[in-house]
Amino acid sequence: MIFTRTEIPDVIVIDPKVHGDERGYFVETFRADKLEAFLGFTIPFCQDNESKSSYGVLRGLHYQLPPHAQSKLVRVIDGEVLDVAVDIRKGSPTFGRHVSVRLSGENKRQLFIPRGFAHGFVVLSETCTFAYKVDNYYSPECDRGIAFDDPSIGIDWHVNHSDLQLSPKDTEQPLLNAADLFDFSEDLYAQTGSAHA
């Protein structure tokens, strides 16, 4: 696996090694030891999720507040998405900035999104099967979101606005300046017993 820090260093692109021949392929999609060695701390992933979506479906921007903040390790099984992580840690040198990466079933690329970031994706292919790990269970009382089209963030989703498909919830999310956010000085991984190595 190749781990690459993005322009927001806490967000990591992971390119797994694909072993393929005329029969098909084999790929390791997750290695806790390698990821944690690169990060320098333990990620206690506890749940795997999967969604199926059609072209133009935009899910996001979502996150959970402490004490149920989540890291995510996301990938595409089939199809293609533009995946986005937004730094929403007040006081961070990259606060309000975002990273966008194309993930597809073909490139097998993954994105690690740490706690303190909002996450979303839009489907660029006809259909898409999207899978991700999280290190905290879903908590309705901590569930939050930010408007996908907040001009202060300025995400280019690469899909015409008229083609976007959003849930009612995602059409009513607040702007960044009105959202419940994280504090950059907090140790978000200490809050649920996940100790730094």
Q: Which of 62, 68, 98, 119 is catalytic?
A: 62
CATH topology of domain 46-182: Jelly Rolls (2.60.120)
Q: Which of 98, 119, 132, 189 is catalytic?
A: 132
Residue 138 appears among annotated catalytic residues? no
pTM reported for the whole predicted model: 0.92
Residue 63 appears among annotated catalytic residues? no
Ranked by mean pLDDT, the top range of 35-44, 154-163, 180-189 is 154-163
Residue spans of the domains in the chain: they are 46-182
pLDDT given for residue 192 in this prediction: 53
Beta bridge partners of 2: 15
- The half-sphere exposure of 159 on its side-chain side, counting CA atoms within 13 A, is 25
Question: Residue 25: pLDDT band by 50, 70, 90 thresholds?
Answer: confident
* Overall average pLDDT of the 25-50 stretch: 93
* Overall average pLDDT of the 151-161 stretch: 97
Residue 180 has pLDDT above 80, yes or no: yes
Using DSSP's 3-state secondary structure scheme, residue 81 falls into strand
pLDDT given for residue 20 in this prediction: 84
Phi-psi region of 116 (alpha: psi -120 to 50; beta: other; left: phi over 0): left
Q: Is 20 exposed, middle or buried (0-12, 13-18, 19+ CB in 10 A)?
A: exposed
Question: Residue 195: pLDDT band by 50, 70, 90 thresholds?
Answer: very low
* Overall average pLDDT of the 10-21 stretch: 93
> How does pLDDT run across 82-116, given as a tens digit for each residue?
999 999 999 999 999 999 999 999 999 999 999 99
